[in-house]
Amino acid sequence: MFMKSISLKLRIAITLAISILAAAAADKKSIDVSKLPPSSSAKDVTYEKDIKPIFQKTCFKCHGAEKQKGKLRLDSLAATLKGGEDGKVVEPGESAKSVLVHNVSRLGDEDDWMPPVDKGDPLSKDQIGLIRAWIDQGAK
Ligand code: HEC
């Protein structure tokens, strides 16, 4: 009886340990922000003037009027700031912490790369730098 209860506890402990390990393995790869393309030195960067044209070319087909993948629209400043199914994707003033910057920079999980693999050309370092400058200047 004693032995049986020990082995039951042991089995519970092992099951717990395995599920914790599995959860850790499934956890998102953390981003090495030092590898992000640097913020551009451009001044007065705005959504309408600088960012919308980039999103229009590369992102609107999945995050616009027709489709809202991840419940995210990028076709207006308000919608972009609102974010998607997991909440905000832009943190005004903090481009290195912004999910959108992580995703377009293709540093984390391949599942999160934007545009998705084989679904469009990746953004250039200059485009990412401009998006970073826009966010760092307050995402206006
Ligand atoms: C071919 C379709 C497609 C294109 C093009 C595309 N995306 Fe996405 N995007 C998706 C899908 C699908 C998801 C949802 C992924 C998921 O839920 O795992 C997503 C999710 C996202 C998210 C996360 C939303 C959230 O709240 O979790 C961001 C940020 C994002 N996309 C930004 C962009 C940007 C910026 C571009 C253009 C540079 C872009 N995407 C282009 C399909 C696309």
pLDDT score, position 66: 97
pLDDT score, position 29: 60
Rounded distance between C-alpha atoms, residue 71 and residue 63, angstroms: 8
Rounded distance between C-alpha atoms, residue 110 and residue 91, angstroms: 22
pLDDT, tens digit, for every residue of 80-119? 999 999 999 999 999 999 999 999 999 999 999 999 999 9
Predicted TM-score (pTM) of the model is: 0.85
pLDDT score, position 7: 78
Q: Which atom of ligand 1 is nearest to the CA of 119?
A: 1
Which residue has its alpha carbon closest to ligand 1 atom 7? 115
Token reading at 47: 């959504």
pLDDT score, position 90: 98
Query: Considering only 8-17, 38-47, 70-79, which range has the smallest mean pLDDT?
Result: 8-17
* Residue 27 pLDDT grade (very low, low, confident, very high; cuts 50, 70, 90): low
Number of Cβ within a 10 Å radius of residue 68 = 16
Ligand 1 center from residue 4 Cα (angstroms): 51
Ligand 1 center from residue 23 Cα (angstroms): 24
Which residue has its alpha carbon closest to ligand 1 atom 14? 70
